[in-house]
Amino acid sequence: MQRNILPTYILIMSLFTHSAHALSVAEVMSGPNPPQISYNDNLPEGPHTVLDLSGREITSVGDLNSIPGIANVTWLDLSYNDINILPADVFCSMPQLRQLLVYRNEIRNISAGAFNRLNQLQFLRLDFNNIQSLPNSIFDNMPELKTLFLESNKIETLPAGIFDNLPQLETLHLNDNKIQTLPNISINLAQLNSIWLQHNRIPTIDDNTSNNLPNVDFFWIDNNQHIQTETVRIQQERERPHNITPDTINSTQAPYNLSSTTIVQAILFTGTLMTIAYCMHKKYKRCKLKKPAFKSVLA
């Protein structure tokens, strides 16, 4: 019996045609059930004027600035779309923007000047894209940025000084990329306290790295090429704060010839096992784990 494959063929072609169609922000805003700019005072980060464009199959954002009322938006969600490029000045009509979510797209190219005029931006997610490289000055116009997600991209190298003009930066996520050398981090980043670099291709850590990380409390570096970690079992009660000192580590010397001033800090929780990596500091001090973080894993 010969099967009629025409309906299946039509269905496949219609799906392909639909996915290949370039859909702009303007088309979404003028289509059925368009998203609305709204005020939301129930967000964990505080009240925001929100525009949620997530999950709309948008491929182009070049006309974003033409949306009426866009200048008032403080929270913009463009996640879960098919955006492949962020052109220059794409957000220039949003000077009040404080939260920008562009994760889970197909971004390969970010133009120099894409983040122009985002002087109030505090939170930026660019994770889970296809970014391979970044312009040198891409983050120069965001003096209030505190949290930056660049994880799960295809970044191999980072330009020298790319983070130098982010004086308020506290958390930097660079994990799950293809980075081969430790990024140059300016000593001027006095607020930086957490760096995520696990699952890259970094073979070694220079002892001098500690000079540029004076205030970093957590430095995730596990699952890199040749960088070793130790695993210890935490026996203390979960209801008390927990201290980790070199006495809790099976080995007395850090691998890869780090100096004796190296501080060991908690990196990754797995059940009751804690993976330890080495975090460089100028002098030894105890590493305290906050109880909520500890309980959230072991509870």
Q: The domain that contains 85 carries what CATH number?
A: 3.80.10.10
Note whether residue 295 is domain-resident: no
Long-range contacts of 24-33 (CB under 8 A, 24+ apart): 24/58, 24/59, 24/60, 24/61, 24/62, 24/63, 25/53, 25/58, 25/60, 25/61, 25/63, 25/64, 25/67, 26/63, 26/66, 26/67, 28/53, 28/56, 28/58, 29/67
Q: In total, how many domains does the chain have? A: 1
Note whether residue 208 is domain-resident: yes
Q: Find the helix or strand (DSSP H, E) in which 219 lies.
A: strand 218-220
- For 16, the domain range is 12-228
At CA 54, angle to CA 44 and CA 112, rounded to 5?
A: 95
Note whether residue 175 is domain-resident: yes
Note whether residue 92 is domain-resident: yes
Note whether residue 188 is domain-resident: yes
β partners of residue 291: none
pTM of whole model > 0.85? no
Residue with tokens 């797209």: 105
Note whether residue 178 is domain-resident: yes
Other beta carbons within 10 Å of 30: 9
Coil, helix or strand at residue 9: helix
Note whether residue 135 is domain-resident: yes
Note whether residue 286 is domain-resident: no
pLDDT tens digits, the chain, 299 residues: what are they?
A: 455 554 544 444 444 444 456 899 999 999 999 999 999 999 888 899 999 999 999 999 999 999 999 999 999 999 999 999 999 999 999 999 999 999 999 999 999 999 999 999 999 999 999 999 999 999 998 999 999 999 999 999 999 889 999 999 999 999 999 998 877 777 778 899 889 988 999 877 665 665 667 677 777 877 876 565 443 333 222 233 344 444 443 333 333 322 333 333 333 333 333 344 444 333 333 333 332 332 222 22
